[in-house]
Structure 1
């Protein structure tokens, strides 16, 4: 395994404003962790002594000791009396089981999952693993963003006092999106791309273009709760398809559903699905496109996370195999470049005119300055390098988190192992209800995403999603370990009973 690069900054900052650095002990711990992940130090091998590390790094003994204690908390090393620190044997953690949703569709009649999700977070939380948008200042350089926005506002200052008449979006941004799509294996015509307020809005426009109230939409299980809110708001029925935590949507199950259900559209994220982080093999993506094209059932593909597989051939979108406009591909750069600019985009194949019409009718014109600024950022040559650094950074976080989970969560806990991204999906003992666990943790200022948010059914009550896009430091690591400890306490006292459901029936 290749060790993550040592730099964690988004991209070189202006010399006048050097980026903030981590405390010395964290820098040393990260450097040693990278050597362990990269195989320089093998399982059971002794690490340099605390004194030797202090001398070679030019720090105090106490600083070096702090670094080793952090590695110990992460489950990477263990101390042996009078012998020093040794690389700890990695625990083999099973992945969650293949999902098994009911073979019928549902008309959603619940309160908004997005609203319920927002209620889970309180200001001043000790640690939050529930977010779905990157929040850590370590991952993004806002200085570069400010420069781009400032430049765009000066050049296009008149746009701030005028309506944006370009329904499809600014040509510069549509061209930048088309260029970026080449990395997904897609040759898109910039004239056919429509800029939207977010990827979620792009998906919403696609659903409006190809469905009517009462129609059935098939999607992964578990799935992103925002999809479920969209489907509910449009009066559609949802059919959940079994999904493997590593290889994604089950094509045999989908084919059976197409034979037995009146499916009007399939909504999926074949690459790094949310919350599982599953990635369909390239051959499976091709089969998916062919299967739906034969049935004339549109595929609405979410590619918002694909760029987190920079340098990996699995980054390729299903849209790359679309030859007749049956795939409607939606994306944004909120997860990879700038969470604050949530602009999305869609290339809707043979429905592109319908998408443009729906956007115009909704009065959903996007901001010229932000579009021009985003186009500027996307065409800078440093974006691919930033993606590689971001991917390496998140890989380290996931690896450390899985170590902590293996060390502190109850035996038998199953954990997803996605190749990239910032989320992990956990399957606990069925005795443990994640909402009851959430309430226990929330009383200590620790939050996460309970499993029942990610389904239209009553499944996944013993599951939870952990998101690591926020601050990652000793406090959050201790909080993650504490979730596992509380889960262990609940497992010993199953008589405590489950908590009330998070979502109520309308």
Structure 2
């Protein structure tokens, strides 16, 4: 049976397609829709958030929702088939792209991190200064699982979102990537099959290559998320040892799984007894009024990984994994690799979280990121050739696709020669199925420099298409 919020979303989508609501029109408020439809506020909110994730509407801070521009609507492109890779060889290409993106003279649309000027740098500096003044010799090295004060603070944030996680289950790591890598290493041995997404966060592909694992890439749709039918096929045909997935603001597409899909996903994994590594680094950057629950809230066996790199400071390199019964295994592996995460940084972060400034900062950060994404989305829709599709999702990325058969890596090289970086689709798959796509970071401020860069990127895309 179709859930109520999906039925309401389809009804509103039909009205938009029929012209009842046109581009730029303000939709009825959540409360007005509750009165008109008879559905609960939560049902209406979920319907609006689903339409937003599919690119039909845009959230306007303090003023509700409006119909999104349709010049470049998310296309119903054919889903790629399940892709099985006995070997992954992508790290060299990713390394070169990331190195090129380090240039300070570039407009960094290819970056994976939000604009650092949005972070509370002065407040974090004060916390670090306070910690440094009182740092004792026995606090200068904190072995796994990490600083007790920080683990308690993270556990309290889980509790505030309705998820019970004990501090003893949490292992502090050097960013989320270490948490994800350690989790994968605990669950697998060289030669094992691992399910990842297609397109996938490139860090997952690098980890699979490093650990000599085999990748099963399950397609992700720009509108509905992970293809659960393809996942069921993968689990039925291969001896899968682990899944590395993102249920919220999937990188690079930005799509989030709905409640029904989350339940089906977990049921499938339980049926086949396959553990899940949940990459949830964008958990705090949700659109709308309510934070999504992690899959860990529905299944205590999920290894839930996240960090503060996308919300507080990239350079902190503080992440964690809520590993449950596997926490001791994670700790032992960490002790053999990085030994520990910076003790002063852990203590400074615990000090900052105790100040209660974090939630106010997050509220402002989400609002600004949404405003910037909407501004870039509108400009791209206006300036790009009509053959280029812009797929709006959650978070601060936009996923764009050139016509099939084209290679966005060529666009990447042309843009780089003019001091503009993008993240070409080849970074996000072990095969070639996303070569015509690329990801843009739209957390940057809209100013004369970024405006000119968007105009030039659109011109380069037009030249590339016309030259084919």
Q: Cα gap change, 1:443/1:234 in structure 2, threshold over 3 Å: closer, same or farther?
A: same
Counterpart for residue 111 of structure 2: 131
CA distances 1:275-323 after superposition (whole Å, capped 9, x unpaired): 001100122112222221222100000111011116544621111101x
The separation in 2 between residues aligned to 1:363 and 1:440, in whole angstroms, is 38
Counterpart for residue 278 of structure 1: 255
What pairs with 1:106-185 in structure 2 (closer than 5 Å)? 106-121=86-101, 123-137=103-117, 139-159=118-138, 162-164=140-142, 166-185=143-162
Offset, 1:262? 1.3
Which is greater in Rg? 1
What count of residue pairs does the alignment treat as equivalent? Answer: 407
Offset, 1:444? 1.4
What pairs with 1:173-212 in structure 2 (closer than 5 Å)? 173-212=150-189
Q: Give the secondary structure class of the aligned counterpart of 1:104.
A: strand
2:294 aligned with 1:317:
yes
The separation in 2 between residues aligned to 1:145 and 1:195, in whole angstroms, is 18
Does the aligned pair in 2 maintain the 1:449–1:464 contact within 8 Å? yes
What pairs with 1:320-335 in structure 2 (closer than 5 Å)? 320-322=297-299, 325-335=300-310
Offset, 1:112? 3.2
2:331 aligned with 1:367:
no
Does the aligned pair in 2 maintain the 1:113–1:225 contact within 8 Å? no
2:82 aligned with 1:105:
no
What pairs with 1:194-343 in structure 2 (closer than 5 Å)? 194-309=171-286, 312-313=289-290, 315-322=292-299, 325-343=300-318
CA distances 1:200-225 after superposition (whole Å, capped 9, x unpaired): 00011111111000001101110111
Work out which of the residue numbers 448, 452, 461 in structure 2 matches 1:487: 461
Does the aligned pair in 2 maintain the 1:99–1:221 contact within 8 Å? no
Counterpart for residue 95 of structure 1: 74
The separation in 2 between residues aligned to 1:385 and 1:285, in whole angstroms, is 29
Offset, 1:431? 4.8
Offset, 1:149? 0.5
The separation in 2 between residues aligned to 1:103 and 1:111, in whole angstroms, is 18
The separation in 2 between residues aligned to 1:274 and 1:142, in whole angstroms, is 26
Offset, 1:379? 2.9
Q: Which runs of 5+ in 2 are unaligned?
A: 1-22, 28-66
CA distances 1:248-297 after superposition (whole Å, capped 9, x unpaired): 21112111110111111010110001100110012211222222122210
The separation in 2 between residues aligned to 1:152 and 1:339, in whole angstroms, is 19
Q: Cα gap change, 1:184/1:391 in structure 2, threshold over 3 Å: closer, same or farther?
A: same
Counterpart for residue 402 of structure 1: 377
What pairs with 1:27-106 in structure 2 (closer than 5 Å)? 90-96=69-75, 97=77, 99-106=79-86
Q: Cα gap change, 1:183/1:305 in structure 2, threshold over 3 Å: closer, same or farther?
A: farther
Offset, 1:39? 5.2
Counterpart for residue 419 of structure 2: 445
The separation in 2 between residues aligned to 1:180 and 1:351, in whole angstroms, is 21
CA distances 1:90-136 after superposition (whole Å, capped 9, x unpaired): 34422253541444233113443441222332634341201012233
What pairs with 1:423-502 in structure 2 (closer than 5 Å)? 423-494=397-468
Offset, 1:243? 0.5
Q: Cα gap change, 1:374/1:491 in structure 2, threshold over 3 Å: closer, same or farther?
A: same
Return 271-280 or 119-128, whichever deviates more. Answer: 119-128
Q: Cα gap change, 1:426/1:125 in structure 2, threshold over 3 Å: closer, same or farther?
A: same
Counterpart for residue 502 of structure 1: none
Counterpart for residue 32 of structure 1: none
Does the aligned pair in 2 maintain the 1:297–1:326 contact within 8 Å? no
Q: Cα gap change, 1:118/1:103 in structure 2, threshold over 3 Å: closer, same or farther?
A: closer
The separation in 1 between residues aligned to 2:187 and 2:462, in whole angstroms, is 47
Offset, 1:405? 1.1
Work out which of the residue numbers 365, 369, 380 in structure 1 matches 2:355: 380
Give the TM-score, by structure 1 length.
0.76
Q: Cα gap change, 1:479/1:326 in structure 2, threshold over 3 Å: closer, same or farther?
A: same
Q: Give the secondary structure class of the aligned counterpart of 2:284.
A: helix
Does the aligned pair in 1 maintain the 2:372–2:444 contact within 8 Å? no
Counterpart for residue 8 of structure 1: none
Q: Cα gap change, 1:288/1:126 in structure 2, threshold over 3 Å: closer, same or farther?
A: same
Q: Give the secondary structure class of the aligned counterpart of 2:316.
A: coil
Q: Cα gap change, 1:258/1:431 in structure 2, threshold over 3 Å: closer, same or farther?
A: closer
2:348 aligned with 1:350:
no
RMSD: 2.3
Q: Give the secondary structure class of the aligned counterpart of 2:422.
A: strand
Offset, 1:352? 1.8
The separation in 2 between residues aligned to 1:304 and 1:188, in whole angstroms, is 17
Counterpart for residue 389 of structure 1: 364
Does the aligned pair in 2 maintain the 1:136–1:471 contact within 8 Å? no
Give the TM-score, by structure 2 length.
0.82
The separation in 2 between residues aligned to 1:382 and 1:110, in whole angstroms, is 40
Q: Which runs of 5+ in 1 are unaligned?
A: 1-35, 41-87, 495-506
The separation in 2 between residues aligned to 1:183 and 1:225, in whole angstroms, is 31
